Amino acid sequence: MTRIAKRPPLGAFTLASDRWTEPFWDAAEEHRLTCARCGACGHFRMPPTPFCPVCRSQSIEWPTLPGTGTLYSYTIVERATLPGTEHTIPYVPAVVTLDGADGRRMVTNIVDSAIDAVRIGAPVHVVFDTLEDGTVIPRFRLGESAA
């Protein structure tokens, strides 16, 4: 039987944001994947922070990315660390190199994909998951696009 990557257990997770990260989550609500880019020198950074580490500028831009990327690394979680989350097994925390962001990566999950097909270098595309409280989280599926 093909095992499918599930959603991770988020327990009591409540999104926290500040003026430097809010635009990322706002874009997700609009089903847009973005990445912070320095308005002065163009350096991408993730997660977003108050200063560009290259030029110290506080100018920040939020370009819309294509929403595709490459799987950089992953782990298949086979055992629930927290009691009561067994139904989320297996889930797949992953690091994805984002297309259009100069090699920046995002810590995320591979979801709705065959566990057996998960491999480093695989093309992935973004999907947007809405949590019960309305928070939208970008995650990824295997394959170059939804089609």
Partner 1 sequence: MEHGSAAGRSTVSTRFALRDRTAIVGLGATPYVKRGHSAPQTLEELVGKAIIAAANDAGVAVPDIDGFAYFAGGFDTGYLMETLGIRDCGFTASLTGSGGGSAGAVGLASAAILSGHAETVVVVGAVQQGTLRYGAIPTSYAASPESSFYQSAGLVGPGHMFALLARRHMHLHGTTRDHFADVAITVRDNAVGHPTALMQKPLTRDEYFAAPMISDPHCLYDFCLETDGAVAVIVTSTERARDLKQRPVLVHASAHGGAGEWARSIYWMDMPDETFASSGHAAIARRLFAAADVDVGGIDTAQIYDHFTSQVLMQLEDYGFCGKGEGGLFVASGAVARNGRLPINTDGGQLSGGYIWGMSHVREAVEQLRGTAHHQVAGARTALVTGGPSNVPVSGLILRSDR
| Cβ 138 to partner 1 shortest distance, Å | 9
CA distance 112 to 92: 10
Spell out the residues 6+ positions from residue 30 whose beta carbon is closer than 8 angstroms to its own. Answer: none
- Spatial strand order of the sheet with 44-45 comes to 44-45, 36-38, 60-61
HSE toward the beta carbon, residue 82, CA cutoff 13 A: 8
Angstrom distance (rounded) from CA 29 to CA 4? 25
Residues 139 and 108 sit within 8 Å (Cβ to Cβ) = yes
State yes or no: residue 94 binds partner 1 (CB under 8 A).
Answer: yes
Tell me the closest approach of the beta carbon of residue 100 to Zn ion, in angstroms. 18
Binding site partner of 136, from Zn ion, partner 1, none, Cβ cut-off 5-8 A by kind: none
Q: What, of Zn ion, partner 1, none, does residue 2 touch, CB below 5 to 8 Å by kind?
A: none
Binding mask 98-127 for partner 1 (x = CB under 8 A): ------xxxxxx----------x-------
Q: Does 88 engage in binding with partner 1 (CB under 8 A)?
A: yes
Q: Does 82 bind partner 1 (CB under 8 A)?
A: yes
Structure tokens at 19: 């003026």
Q: Which residues bind Zn ion (CB under 5 A)?
A: 38, 40-41, 43, 52, 54-55, 57
Q: Which residues bind partner 1 (CB under 8 A)?
A: 7-11, 13-18, 20-21, 46-47, 49, 53, 72-79, 81-82, 88, 91, 93-95, 104-109, 120, 137
